[in-house]
Amino acid sequence: MVLLTSEDDFTTLTELNFVTAPKMILICLLIELVVQTFALVVEPTAWWTWQLLGFIVATNLGAVVLAVFAQRSADQLSNVYRRVFTPQFYQTMSSISQLQARFQAEAEAAGDDPADIDDMVSELYAAARSYLETKRIHDSTPLPELGVPHLTPGEVSLISESELFLSDDADSS
């Protein structure tokens, strides 16, 4: 599975270039303007007819090329979407949605407005900050010496089976 990891991946996602519908309409209008100008200005001759026929063929080929570019853009977008919208993404969104629904239900049960979380933000931040500060102090505080030796796994001696299960002979001696 390939995930988006670099800034370039996110830039690619947000800056895909497409031939938009307004651009296509503008191109068609410009082509029509050129063709109509020729039709109104130039006296029809066999040579001009061939030129206009060539122009029409070129515009049709241009439409095919534009369709290929549009399909290429759609393929790029499809590849990016497959990398972003993974099953894990949808599972995460589902979990966040369930959390939000539960949060809303709890807020309503407490008589609070679930949309008004401004009051809770400062309390949540303070609680998280206090937890992290307490954890940092706890992790950096050495354990008190209680007089019990600390043995590493290599220093621990194993009791043999004969020592563990003393036979009756050993009890009588």
Residues 64-74 pLDDT 10s: 999 999 899 88
pLDDT at 7: 65
The pLDDT confidence band at residue 136, using thresholds 50, 70 and 90, is very high
Band of the pLDDT at 1, cuts 50, 70, 90? very low
What tokens were used for 1?
Answer: 């599975």
Termini Cα distance of the chain: 69
Tally of CB atoms within 10 A around 76: 15
Ranges of H-type helices in 4-153: 7-14, 21-41, 46-84, 87-109, 118-140
Share of the chain above pLDDT 90, in %: 17
Q: pTM of the predicted model, to two decimals?
A: 0.38
> Sign of the CA dihedral 124, 129, 132, 134?
negative
What's the rounded Cα separation, in Å, for the pair 148 and 151?
9
Closest CA to 76 of 65, 87, 68: 68
Lowest mean pLDDT among 59-63, 93-97, 130-134, 145-149: 145-149
pLDDT digits (tens, 9 = 90+) for 13-64: 667 677 788 888 998 899 889 878 877 887 888 988 898 889 889 989 998 9
